[in-house]
Structure 1
Amino acid sequence: MSHVAHELHEEFPEHAEAIHNLKAGNAHFARLAEEYHTLNRAIHRMETNVEPADDATIEDLKKKRLTLKDEIAGFLATV
């Protein structure tokens, strides 16, 4: 599979250890990170036409991904 952009460790490289620790120790953060990962992979599949979708669907999913990223960033700002 080709490289998938927007992975959490790429979005927040300075917080790689904190992401790992939060995923292991905070169930809510772990759920957010998993939801982000799943959504990010789905967007990548759609953008590469592995699972074609219309532009409106992709844009809606990107907005959801951004909302998750903002919530994750909020967690990371407190570490």
Structure 2
Amino acid sequence: MKFPQDVPIAKVLKTFELPGFVTVRAGNHISMQRSNPDGTKTPLTLPNHSKIKGSTLRAICNQAGISRDEFLKYFNQ
């Protein structure tokens, strides 16, 4: 399956909420974080643009430790 391009920010946020990320701050960038079972937190920062490019989305997935397939599974729910 092809990786999505120019995705609306609302869809991106909803997709990252499914694996447990919550928005902690929003300004020029949106900061999200996920609490992990071992007590650590995984931070995530994404630009607060109306649409997110595919290349940016892949970089965000790498930062979050989410594989392409895992992202697509959440994205298509």
| TM-score normalised by structure 2 residue count | 0.29
Kindly indicate which of the two structures has a greater share of residues assigned to strand: 2
Determine which structure has more spread, i.e. the larger CA radius of gyration. Answer: 1
The structure that is helix-richer by fraction is: 1
